[in-house]
Structure 1
Amino acid sequence: MFIKKSILSLVVLLTCIMAGKAQVKIGFEVSFKEPQAHYAEVQMNISGLPKDYVDVKMPVWTPGSYLIREFEKSVEGFTASAAGKKLKVEKVRKNIWRVFSAKANDIKINYRVYAFEISVRTAFIDESHAFLSPTGIFMHPAGMIKSPSTVKIIPFNTWSKVSTGLPVVAGETFTYRASDFDILYDSPIEVGNQDTFEFMASGVRHEVAMYGGGNYDKEKLKVDMAKIVEQETAVYGENPNKYYLFIVHNFARGGGGLEHLNSTTLGASRNAYSTEAGYKGFLGLVAHEYHHLWNVKRLRPVALGPFDYDNENYTTNLWVAEGFTSYYENKYILRAGFDDPNGFVNALAGGIATVLNTPGAKVQSASASSYDAWIIGYRPNENSKNNSISYYNKGEVIGILMDLEIINATKGAKSLDDVMKAMYLQCKTLKRGYTDAEFKAMVEKISGISFTNFWAKYVNGVDDAEYVKYFGYAGVNVSTENATPDKPVTGASGQLGNEGITVTSTTRGSAAWDAGLNVNDIILSLDDTTVGDALTNIKLRSTMVSLESLPIVAKKKIGDVLKLKVKRDGLERDISLTLKANPSVRLKATIDDNASAAQKTVLKKWMGI
């Protein structure tokens, strides 16, 4: 009887707790009184949370973009009220507002957000549209990240559409629901008069919302984007969504993308769709961001979810999350029929050359680059190329080598595709992300060989890629040549100004580096010839100038001395550069028609066509 009463009491207590949680309701209304001034008006309604005070928090970063962006800096006019009476508000942290609610059951919070930064990761509003990147717009009550909420959008009077991956609230106009704040923060919203169209692929309804116009062909995009979706779904064996949204911002010159759980935001150039390179580039971006639907959003490093929205979330595995996605972008473009085998192998060879030609690749490892994304990757300075390497670029190279190593070791039976699918299913089963050790273990399980030395050299080390060896597995020959044979280089570049050329970068180990030419030095003359005279009759495409482009430098030989007069901090000084050979290389890949049967097996598995 005692046990029965105790169980009954516990059930009653849990029921009360659950009922209390169920009574809490959080809703937002977003309107636009002054879109031309780049403002959103946000009203947050909280009911069923009778406390002495309520802390509401705004994220300081957005998942997928590893930089503390301080979104709270754009918030102004924060006020709160209950039953028509103003409540006391105190800011207790950079991104936390404390509302002294005096146990009021219904609280109304109002604030404005200034949104004028064009990117796929930040909110932007003007008279033509509003792009709401949720981490920079919405707030959540402290400790209630798992609470559901609703969002009602009130478009400006000249706008007619809302596009978002959030499910609609039945019977309500432009009203959406989020099961928790992780979902809300992962669901961008486009408001305006965007051009929308749909296509079906892999059993999933896909919507494309185009802002900014452009010379795109909707019917062609429907077909070609579907091909990419189907190739990617084939790798993982399933598509986790029933609906997916592409928000595409077309600008005069645009680029970049940011992944979300069932959507993505892409930046594109509005008039590039009609060129072969531009169209292929857009499809490559589609392939990259769509691959994140699995890799990052579900197949993810353990540190990337659940998120801490107040602080950095460190991981050493962005080389997998982003680098492998960059690699797979090439595979999907090939498999979908938008590239040929020669284009594929040369695109990958070019990626390897990029890493070989970056001095920082010999300083920073892929795992360190991943970890330092917060302080270096998204905050580069004039020396970043000398002391760091992009985890996108290095991860792509690791993906190439790892894929070929697995295929070769298994005689064409397995590939990196099998690793990615297995890791996706593992994360799905365990309901958590993977550790670096778990990823390595899966690679070894699939391949049947040890990758300890591989990890030491390429993941945690800074060894140059043995590209001749790895490409050779697939019967692909790679030739290496100097980027500018017999031509001297200074290793410095700058921007043309009124006084001369202001140095913007110098390369580690170059003539400029060795001679002590500094960034911000103003080059006044070269071999006693003023910069103005040196540029006579030269047509520059931009104000950015490579010293090698100047005839006075181009006429010299390796080992010659170039005398510069520079101004540093208002004082003139002389610097002499002993010109060196260009350390940069170009790689050219060629598929061997006389490759062995084993090599052809590797090549076929690698390409997947």
Structure 2
Amino acid sequence: MKRSLLAVGLFLASFSVNAQQEISYELSFPNAIHHEAEITMSVPNVPTGTLKVRMSRSSPGRYATHEFGKNVYRFKAFDEQGKKLTVLQLAGDEYSIPNHGNTVKITYTLFGNWIDGTYAGFDETHAHMNIPATFAYPIGMDKRPRTVKFNLTNKQNWKVATQLKPLTNGVYYAPNFQYFMDSPIELASYHTASWNVKNPDGKTQTIHLVSHSKDDQKTIDNYAEMLKKMVDEHFAVWGEFPAYDYGNYYFLHDVYPDYAGDGMEHRNSTVIVQRTPKIAGYESNLLGTFSHEYFHSWNVERLRPKTLEPFNFEHSNMSDELWLAEGFTQYYGNLLLTRAGFKSVENASQTFNGIINTVLNSSGAKNFSPIEASRYAVFADAGVSIDQTNKNNIFTSYYTYGASVALALDLRLRAEFKLTLDDYMRALWKAYGKPEIPYTVPDLEKTLGLLTKNTAFANDFFKKYVYGTEKNDYAKLLLHAGFILRKADPNGAYTGMGRVTFENGKATLGSTMAGTPAYEAGLDFGSMLLTMDGIAIKDQASLNSVTKDHKPGDTINVTYSYYGEEKTTKLTFSENPVLEIIPIEKTGGSLTPAMQTFRDSWLNSQVKK
């Protein structure tokens, strides 16, 4: 009895200390029609010395910087008696309060009118909040818990949806700064549908679809049934669900044509913003984002690169491993929709076709490795730059690049070891994901060697295709599944001009890619085509006509204007490099039983009945 009383006493004491340390926020929306929120932050037990407060410059799931401080104004500070304190603005997103008492209350107005996974948006229909874009924070108090409370007076039946832990009296709780910053919030009059999932250990958890859209409850219920099938295929890959904190996972779904659109993963939730009038009639088209982001609840949220731990909110977060964290997720996002029956084999082959074309025909992939592509995310991931870059020649998206590595590794494991990429992901989950031990690239290589019992294979694969720029033989690998990879337009002429803008009879080039005929001819961004082979180029039809009238190796004269000066160059056509994937049975070839078995085990459902 005495032990029980002592335990209770210690718990209450701990709770009391925690409460004294809590950084609390209150939000209201008196001017939501003009996209403003009023935010109050109370910081108790402030240490002596200058208190520094700032807005984040980065956000979980994003790798570049974002200037969230630009939308904060009327920033004020008060002591516990309500006396106004002196605030110094040290930078656009950082403030200092040199003199203060034990408790400091800070108030500010936040403007938000961008609905995606990164920023915040407020209007009369909802409040959509990514935490780093919304909440200022005191520097040096990361271990302190946070609470949030909302004043929803006259807000059209708004309800709260978030992975934050609900307490009493409409208060929501985060145990520390990192968890808080990773917990998006949606306030709206939304529809929801929920279902339970069970882990092999018997523990039951709940998955929630929360949709702020112009749909009725029946549509949401039906869509949840589709998501259940998708979730089942994800479970089949990993063999178990993550242990969601507080036993819940949330799809926070916003749908409206004027939104920015996005998908952004978080530890126990994901924000999905889609630009359609509603869900009804677009169900299948919207599933890709759901599948990708849900895969992240394993891959990146728990199976996590060491380079992202702990996440730094003051600058960009560079990682060597995004080719796996994002690229393998990209591969599985589409593959699992095929296994769930939402995409046909034809759809799947088209997706693989896009991946292979990108990695084999882009200058970035030819000259830079998946690791180097991952590092460039700090500039490429919706970064805050407005000047022209040479991205067309030095960068291939780590999403697509990583997906190409995943595709090749999956097919090679199946063909050479009678294993699958699913086996590899489960091995990574067991070693690093479930125990939440951040991994490095050498850890990934080591796990592949242990799985295949062939360290030489793992070393060769990583040396060539992860650290290096060599490419797998996709034609050979796809043939195992009865797919033919071939030139889409054999002997067709190719200029490599890429995007050409036609306006008022003028044809202006975008940037050209190294190694293409246009690049070798000295044509690049800003060049205005006048004639090709003596024919005036005024629209896409005239450009296509000249190209079709020639074959690879032909050389023609091109006149163009560059900064108002007319110039002439010679362009030599090359063969069109675009590839296509065709099921072998549609080429007149024979789909053997071995090919059919390979294809089925790869693309068919893995859910055990």
- How would you bin the TM-score normalised by the shorter chain? 0.7 to 0.9
CA distance in structure 1 between the partners assigned to 2:330 and 2:404 by the alignment? 9
Consecutive unaligned residues of structure 1, counting only runs of 5 or more, are: 1-14, 536-544
Deviation of 1:28 after TM superposition, in Å, equals 0.6
Deviation of 1:127 after TM superposition, in Å, equals 3.2
Please list, as runs of the form range in 1=range in 2, the aligned pairs for 1:344-423 lying within 5 A after superposition. 344-376=348-380, 378-379=382-383, 381=388, 383-411=390-418, 414-423=419-428
Deviation of 1:466 after TM superposition, in Å, equals 0.8
Deviation of 1:357 after TM superposition, in Å, equals 2.5
Deviation of 1:138 after TM superposition, in Å, equals 0.9
Q: In the alignment, which of 445, 454, 463 is matched to residue 461 of structure 2? A: 454
Alignment of 1:252 with 2:240, yes or no, is no
Deviation of 1:392 after TM superposition, in Å, equals 0.8
CA distance in structure 1 between the partners assigned to 2:490 and 2:153 by the alignment? 55
- Over 3 Å counting, the alpha-carbon distance change for 1:485 and 1:123 in structure 2 is farther
| 3-state SS of paired residue (1:88) | coil
- Over 3 Å counting, the alpha-carbon distance change for 1:546 and 1:147 in structure 2 is farther
Deviations 1:210-249 (A, max 9, x none): 2342699323212110111122123323222221111222
CA distance in structure 2 between the partners assigned to 1:169 and 1:492 by the alignment? 52
Q: Which moved more, 1:362-371 or 1:151-160?
A: 151-160
Please list, as runs of the form range in 1=range in 2, the aligned pairs for 1:95-244 lying within 5 A after superposition. 95-102=93-100, 104-155=101-152, 157-173=154-170, 175-202=171-198, 203-213=204-214, 217-239=219-241, 240-241=243-244, 242-244=247-249
Deviations 1:485-516 (A, max 9, x none): 42443524322234722222323222221121
CA distance in structure 2 between the partners assigned to 1:211 and 1:429 by the alignment? 32
CA distance in structure 1 between the partners assigned to 2:572 and 2:91 by the alignment? 54
- Over 3 Å counting, the alpha-carbon distance change for 1:422 and 1:32 in structure 2 is same
Deviation of 1:92 after TM superposition, in Å, equals 2.9
- Over 3 Å counting, the alpha-carbon distance change for 1:394 and 1:55 in structure 2 is same
Alignment of 1:284 with 2:282, yes or no, is no
Q: Aligned residue for 2:581?
A: 587
Q: Aligned residue for 1:538?
A: none
Deviations 1:547-597 (A, max 9, x none): 744x35444444455544433333333344333332222232437865465
| 3-state SS of paired residue (1:233) | helix
Letter in 1 for 2:119: T
Please list, as runs of the form range in 1=range in 2, the aligned pairs for 1:249-328 lying within 5 A after superposition. 249-252=254-257, 255-271=261-277, 278-328=282-332
Q: Aligned residue for 2:561?
A: 567
Q: Aligned residue for 2:8?
A: none
- Over 3 Å counting, the alpha-carbon distance change for 1:578 and 1:428 in structure 2 is closer
Letter in 2 for 1:204: Q
| 3-state SS of paired residue (2:208) | strand
TM-score with structure 2 length normalisation? 0.86
User: Conserved in 2, the CA contact under 8 Å of 1:87 and 1:101?
Assistant: yes
Corresponding residue pairs, total: 575
| 3-state SS of paired residue (2:206) | strand
Alignment of 1:510 with 2:516, yes or no, is yes
- Over 3 Å counting, the alpha-carbon distance change for 1:233 and 1:213 in structure 2 is same
Q: Aligned residue for 1:501?
A: 507
User: Conserved in 2, the CA contact under 8 Å of 1:349 and 1:588?
Assistant: no
Deviation of 1:98 after TM superposition, in Å, equals 1.1
Deviation of 1:151 after TM superposition, in Å, equals 0.8
Letter in 1 for 2:42: N
CA distance in structure 2 between the partners assigned to 1:101 and 1:20 by the alignment? 24
Deviation of 1:75 after TM superposition, in Å, equals 1.5
- Over 3 Å counting, the alpha-carbon distance change for 1:249 and 1:555 in structure 2 is farther
Identity between Structure 1 and Structure 2 (%):
28
CA distance in structure 2 between the partners assigned to 1:442 and 1:137 by the alignment? 40
Q: Aligned residue for 2:445?
A: 440
Deviations 1:442-494 (A, max 9, x none): 1111111231111111111111221133234x443423124464244352432
Q: Aligned residue for 1:73?
A: 70
Deviations 1:78-110 (A, max 9, x none): 1101112111111234432112243x1221101
CA distance in structure 2 between the partners assigned to 1:271 and 1:308 by the alignment? 36
CA distance in structure 1 between the partners assigned to 2:24 and 2:278 by the alignment? 40
Alignment of 1:62 with 2:59, yes or no, is yes
| 3-state SS of paired residue (1:283) | helix
TM-score with structure 1 length normalisation? 0.86
Deviation of 1:387 after TM superposition, in Å, equals 1.8
User: Conserved in 2, the CA contact under 8 Å of 1:488 and 1:558?
Assistant: yes
Q: Aligned residue for 1:606?
A: 602
User: Conserved in 2, the CA contact under 8 Å of 1:506 and 1:512?
Assistant: yes
Please list, as runs of the form range in 1=range in 2, the aligned pairs for 1:470-509 lying within 5 A after superposition. 470-472=477-479, 474-483=480-489, 485-498=491-504, 500-509=506-515
User: Conserved in 1, the CA contact under 8 Å of 2:366 and 2:469?
Assistant: yes
CA distance in structure 2 between the partners assigned to 1:335 and 1:128 by the alignment? 37
Q: Aligned residue for 2:83?
A: 85
Q: Which moved more, 1:377-386 or 1:111-120?
A: 377-386
Letter in 1 for 2:575: A
Deviation of 1:323 after TM superposition, in Å, equals 0.7
CA distance in structure 2 between the partners assigned to 1:470 and 1:418 by the alignment? 18
CA distance in structure 2 between the partners assigned to 1:470 and 1:198 by the alignment? 41
Consecutive unaligned residues of structure 2, counting only runs of 5 or more, are: 1-11, 199-203
| 3-state SS of paired residue (2:307) | coil
Deviation of 1:604 after TM superposition, in Å, equals 4.9
- Over 3 Å counting, the alpha-carbon distance change for 1:482 and 1:209 in structure 2 is same
CA distance in structure 2 between the partners assigned to 1:573 and 1:423 by the alignment? 57
Deviations 1:10-34 (A, max 9, x none): xxxxx99998665222111122232
Deviations 1:30-76 (A, max 9, x none): 22232232222111111122423211232211111111112112221
